[in-house]
Chain A
Amino acid sequence: MSRDGQDKPHGSGVPDESVEELYENAPCGYLSTLPDGRIIRVNQTFVDLVGIEREQLVGGKRFAQLLTIGGRIFYETHFALMLRMHGHLSEIALDFQRGDGTVIPALITAVQKRDSGGNPLVNRMTIFNATERRRYEQELLIARKRAEEAASELTRVNRALSSSNTALLRANEDLGQFAYAASHDLQEPLRTMTGYAQLLARRYHDVLDERAQGFIEHILEGSRRMQMLISDLLAFSHAQGAQLVRRSTDMAQVLAAALANLESSIEETRATVTHEALPTLSVDAARMAQLFQNLVSNAIKYRKLDAAPRVHVSANEDRDGSWVISVQDNGLGFDDAYADQIFSMFKRLHGREIAGTGIGLAICRKVVESHGGKIWATSTPGVGSTFFFTIPDRAEI
């Protein structure tokens, strides 16, 4: 270090920046060792960092002895080897065991000076206090571990979910098949019972007294109700089971087809059904007709006694491209508290005075959900109800 050459003292006010001063009080620790790790030189910054006397450090101590035990193993298994191999190492995280017993995390960069034959002469290291950085690193490590755990937990949950989904699908399929088979098989004995009850009423009309004929009429009335239940159940299991046949369909035509099926009850109740422009969507036309038919027939069925039913169908395109179709009536209405329940199987808000099986709206929900949409209703008792359903945009042509 040519103190006398370049580092002449300048005028007063210029701080001492001699090489010696710079080495000793540099903002990082400096340390040199022989190739076997024995310390031969340290600067004041390093002495202060580890809190061990300079005489002790350069008096035969090896670099690894300044480290924590974990650090020593790393030094012997990685650091020393790589320094010998590469001649250079950067940003190695090791902890120093200070003179007072405390531990100080550090970052170490090292180079190995070699002679012309490639033999190591001296190892030089710079040491930075990395207390804050190590704390941050630990947080990163913990966060990464948590993220990995969360990811594997998610995978596990997903796997469980997908297997219970499969089980649920299978159970639903089985149930649908059962409902179909049961309702189909129930029809036959019912037909027999109805037939014989009718025979009894006709052939023994003269023999039976009025009371007995009344009983038979009750039997027949029960049979009719049961027939209605069975055919609704069949329609429901059909709505659930069979594959959709999606085609580009004019919803106005579908509505017209549904209204044609309801012609007699529309005439009978002098109902008026109006509609706005309806879109063309990729849907199963037969199911959609069933949906409209159920909604309009409900609107007529639950009419007010003092006013002819008015039903209005409209359609609006949502911001996400799906369509919301509504069927509004001026009927009896219902308490909004029941708005969710009415789509459940066999749920009825009215008593026997209005015929119904409680399956119609459950079918509506099946049809809408199988198209990927949602169905809901709002109502005010005495004013009327509006039923809404959506058909997602992918269904649109």
Chain B
Amino acid sequence: MVVAHGFGCDQNMWRFIVPAFVNEYRVVLFDHVGAGKSDATKYSREKYDSLAGYSDDVLEIIDAVGGAPVIFVGHSVSATIGLLAAATRPEVFERLILIGPSPCYINDLDYIGGFSKADIQAMLATLESNYLGWSSATAPVIMGNPDKPELADELSESFCRTDPDIAKDFARVTFLSDNRRDLARVHVPSLIMQCSEDIIAPDCVGEFVHDHLPDSKLVHLRATGHCPHMSAPQETITVIQQYLAAAS
């Protein structure tokens, strides 16, 4: 099982659900370039100026760890990255688990992605304000965690650490990309997990993906927001387990 984090965090975002799968699967976690403990020096604007650069990385990881075909779990933009990888090389994928996928964030004629171009520009400005260095968005302040002292220091220090320049590029590539036409190219069976009240990937987007993605199953979660694996880990685990059990 290869698990890919979305924009804004790193592989640590999976920590609440991964334990539920480690007995049954070999779970492979990774950080996209620029996130977490990845080697930011390997970043190049040329390679990563489209999501294809990231999906090439996913295929490389799958080849490197062996064990294909894999179950791919991707959150948000990584759901799209997984779809692109599966369109290129379907044989290395057994199932796709897509959490809050959106093939296109920007409204276009009668397609509703949820945002206008101006909204995305405003978001990039907000990113910029928070990446200036004094905010904890890039360099988290380490606070003692009285509830779980074992999680302190070293671990929490690296959570969601991102390289600000790369993150800005990643945001631009993520939110300005349009991969609607790629959906029909994917024939790997997939599960779409649609959250409630998700402003990043609204209900209508989940339905669009379901309509255009062959062999896909759509499940609506009670969990609200964009990150059910963090806000409602148990529900997320149950839905994934049920889907995989029904599939086998």
Contact = CB atoms under 8 A, between A and B. Distances in A.
Interface of A: 35-37, 62, 64, 68-74, 76-78, 80-82, 84-95, 111, 114-116, 118, 134, 137, 140-141
A76 B8 CA distance: 9
A141 B132 contact: yes
A37 B225 contact: yes
Nearest to B135: A91
Given A93-B135, A114-B147, A81 B13 contact: yes
28 contacts: A35-B231, A37-B225, A69-B115, A69-B122, A72-B199, A73-B123, A74-B126, A76-B198, A80-B231, A81-B9, A81-B13, A81-B230, A82-B136, A82-B140, A85-B9, A85-B156, A86-B136, A86-B141, A86-B145, A86-B159, A87-B145, A88-B136, A89-B136, A90-B136, A116-B147, A118-B148, A137-B129, A140-B132
Contacts of A35: 231
Given A71-B126, A76-B227, A137-B129, A92 B159 contact: no
The 6 closest A-B pairs by CB, nearest first: A70-B122, A77-B8, A70-B123, A93-B129, A76-B226, A69-B119
Contacts of B226: 76-77, 80
B200 A77 contact: yes
B123 to A, nearest CB: 4
Nearest to A117: B147
Contacts of B87: none
B224 A74 contact: no
Contacts of A134: 129
Given A77-B226, A78-B137, A116-B147, A95 B8 contact: no
B128 interface: yes
Contact of B126 (A70, A80, A86): A70
Interface residues on B, range: 35 or more
Given A74-B126, A76-B225, A78-B8, A91 B13 contact: no
Contacts of B8: 77-78, 81
Contacts of A118: 147-148
A82 B11 CA distance: 13
Nearest to B162: A78
Which of A69, A77, A134, A137 has the most chain B CB within a 10 Å cutoff? A77
A71 B12 CA distance: 23
Contacts of A70: 119-126
Contacts of A95: 126
Nearest to A114: B147
Contacts of B224: 36-37, 62
B182 interface: no
B143 A88 contact: yes
Interface in B6-65: 6-9, 12-13
B126 A81 contact: no
A77 B198 CA distance: 11
Interface in B156-209: 156, 159-160, 175, 197-200
Interface of B: 6-9, 12-13, 76, 115, 119-130, 132, 134-137, 140-141, 143, 145, 147-148, 156, 159-160, 175, 197-200, 224-227, 230-231
Nearest to B160: A82
B160 A81 contact: yes
A94 B121 CA distance: 14
Nearest to A120: B231
Contact of B141 (A69, A77, A88): A88
Nearest to A138: B129
A82 B137 contact: yes
A95 B125 CA distance: 11
A35 B223 CA distance: 11
Contacts of B231: 35-36, 80, 84
B74 to A, nearest CB: 15
Given A73-B119, A73-B200, A86-B136, 11 more contacts: A76-B198, A76-B200, A77-B9, A85-B9, A85-B159, A87-B143, A87-B145, A88-B136, A92-B136, A93-B135, A116-B147
A80 B227 contact: yes
A70 B115 CA distance: 10
B135 A74 contact: no
A81 B132 contact: no
B77 to A, nearest CB: 9
Nearest to A91: B135
Nearest to B128: A141
Contacts of B128: 141
Contacts of B145: 86-87
A282 to B, nearest CB: 46
A323 B160 CA distance: 63
A62 B143 CA distance: 26
A16 B160 CA distance: 44
Contacts of B115: 69, 73
A85 B8 CA distance: 12
A301 B124 CA distance: 76
A103 B225 CA distance: 23
A236 B122 CA distance: 66
B126 A77 contact: no
Contact of A84 (B140, B147, B230): B230
Contacts of A82: 9, 136-137, 140, 159-160
B138 to A, nearest CB: 10
Contacts of A92: 130, 135-137
A315 to B, nearest CB: 56
